[in-house]
A and B are shown apart, each in its own frame.
Chain A
Amino acid sequence: MSRALEVRHLSKTYQVFRRGSSLGEALLSVFRRKFTAVEAVQDVSLELEEGELVAFLGPNGAGKSTTLKMLSGILHPTSGDVLALGRFTPWKHRTEYVRHVGAVFGQKSQLVWDVPPQDAFRMNRAIHDIPRPVYRERLARLVALLDIERVMMQPTRTLSLGERMRCEFALALLHAPSLLFLDEPTIGLDIEAKDTIRALIRELNQAGTTVILTTHDLQDVEQLARRVIVIDKGSIALDGSLDELRLRFGDRKRVRVRSTNFPTTVEIPGVEVVRFQGGYAELELDLARCSMHSFLEQLSRMCRVDDLTIHDPPLEDAVRRLYGAASPQATR
């Protein structure tokens, strides 16, 4: 398998304007501006194989978007190199490179507000210079896949968000890109629309498209990504599988216990009570400090267990801890 992206020591620093909030400062800002340098991305290195689906996670302002803009050729880095699809430096060979790249932004529409999506599709055909028969064949396939036959004739402004996102995908896929950048593609969608979009992403990835997904929706990550890259304060805080992310802060399990005589406090080392809810107690176990066997033994001495379920802690917990304790050390 060849590499879709090879990123070496990518960094980006830019200047931002600082303005005070008092009246005096505002008046002063009329005559003089102050700037500060922001290191948006610092020394990011990673590799991405063709056909991979990787999710970029990170708190707001962590440097995800800046990284993706550099990978897609929109932005020049301050330093570092990227080799894309084996032959392109995105910002140097932008025009050629983007012929192979598709992008969908949940919050930036590529459709035209007042006209039906079909007009924007045709425009995109002309921009990418796609031969008409190829365009017709691809459009027909996308229309069937995304179920947009009816909506693509209506003015974009009259579409629901879910319908619009399906059309955004159609537009981004018309030129059959091999590398797809998705920036929060499910933002604001209802459950059903999210499922449709996720199924589509999975299908595209299975057909060989390399997908880079940025999102704040951890359901997207759990359902789609095999690999997760967490960016925080401009650096890679973690690059690994979902399990690695979960194990980052120790091997933990969640246990839900139903018991009529459950004590109000639990004094087992390595066990924390997360909450009491609906007759259940939810506990979190740090398996390094308390084995499952020892826990179950102590639990059965402590109370009469009526029901018990064991599962992995939610991904949110691991991510929250990671954001809180970002380290610039990559694990991979």
Chain B
Amino acid sequence: MRSLASLLLHGIRLGLATRMADRFDFFASLLVMLGLELLPCLITVLLYGNGLAFPGWQLREVILIQAVFLMAKGIASPLFGGMVWNTSEMIREGTFELLLLKPRHPLLLAVVKSFDPEDLGKLFGGLALSAWCLRGTGVPRPAQLAEFGLLFFVSLVLFGASLLTMASVVMVWVGNARIFELFDRIAELGQYPPVILPKRVRALALAPVPVLAFAVLPASALLGRATDGWLWAALSTFALLALSLTLWNYLLRRFSSAGG
């Protein structure tokens, strides 16, 4: 356990040191990574600014969904997001096999070697936006906070499982940067109030594709709104995690038996 913690710590240190090699680019990326994610907020603000609204949702409530999404992504991406790029790049350059020359599970090494702090911008942005939203919607009670904590954890697991699935896919689908785009499009469904979704799609968005668990459910907990169906979303999130781990291990075996 100590050795694992030490390994993770080294990964974080190395990730920071690597990005600090060019500070200007790092800080620019920090802002851009936040900026890229602010698109749903921009759309929301412009819609409300032009007299349109999501029925039954105030501006700050909608922005809170997007802020929670940012926070979860801001924690999950630095840890697991770099792995997707890194795996793709290593496969293309033919250096992925170097991971197999180390006495650790390649998945652990892929995570450790890919810590990317530039996504932390999302976390800070999400925190600031959440604070702004909660100033308008009222401070949540302890029970709401506890519910939020639980659902936020589910959201982190869902991000982790999604990124792991993507890292698996790039092992066979070499060099495909568009995998992130595909993920973003699916996740976009979970960045607006669920009123936009037709009824059947709303059920699917809890299970088996629990996009509502990304942000809508935890944000609803903070707002004291109903979080019906959260158990289904949590169950399908953990099922997705198991599936993504199985996929990764399967593709690793395939990589090492296919010819590198």
Asked if A and B touch directly (CB within 8 angstroms), the answer is yes
- The 8 A CB mask of A26-68 against B (1 = contact, 0 = none) is 0000000000000010000000000000000000000000100
A103 to B103, CA, bound (A): 13
**B172, CB-defined interface residue at 8 Å:** no
Interface size of A by CB at 8 A reads 36
Q: In whole Å, how far is B257's beta carbon from the nearest beta carbon of chain A?
A: 4
- Contact (A128, B256) CB under 8 Å given A114-B18, A115-B14, A115-B18: no
Other-chain contact of A126, B10, B21, B253 (Cβ < 8 Å):
B10
- The 8 A CB mask of B206-222 against A (1 = contact, 0 = none) is 00000000000000000
Other-chain contact of A127, B102, B253, B256, B258 (Cβ < 8 Å):
B102
Within B215-260, the residues touching A (CB, 8 Å) are 253, 256-260
Which of the four size classes fits the interface of chain B? 20 to 34
Interfacial chain A residues near B93, Cβ < 8 Å: 108
Q: In whole Å, how far is B256's beta carbon from the nearest beta carbon of chain A?
A: 5
- The 8 A CB mask of A125-140 against B (1 = contact, 0 = none) is 0111100000000000
Query: How many residue pairs, one in A and one in B, have C-beta atoms under 8 Å apart?
Result: 84
* A99:B259 contact, CB within 8 angstroms: no
Q: In whole Å, how far is B116's beta carbon from the nearest beta carbon of chain A?
A: 13
- The 8 A CB mask of B77-114 against A (1 = contact, 0 = none) is 00000000000000001110110111111000100110
* B97:A123 contact, CB within 8 angstroms: no
* B14:A98 contact, CB within 8 angstroms: no
- Contact (A75, B18) CB under 8 Å given A94-B100, A127-B7, A127-B102: no
Interfacial chain A residues near B103, Cβ < 8 Å: 95-96, 98-99, 127-129
* B260:A69 contact, CB within 8 angstroms: yes
Other-chain contact of B102, A12, A112, A114, A128 (Cβ < 8 Å):
A128
* B102:A119 contact, CB within 8 angstroms: no
- The 8 A CB mask of A96-114 against B (1 = contact, 0 = none) is 1011010101001110111
* 7 cross-chain pairs, A with B, having the tightest CB-CB distances, nearest first: A14-B259, A114-B21, A76-B257, A126-B7, A74-B97, A126-B10, A99-B103
Please name 10 further chain A to chain B contacts, defined as beta carbons within 8 Å, in addition to the given A40-B259, A91-B256, sorted by A numbering. A12-B259, A14-B259, A66-B259, A69-B260, A74-B101, A75-B256, A99-B103, A101-B101, A112-B14, A127-B109
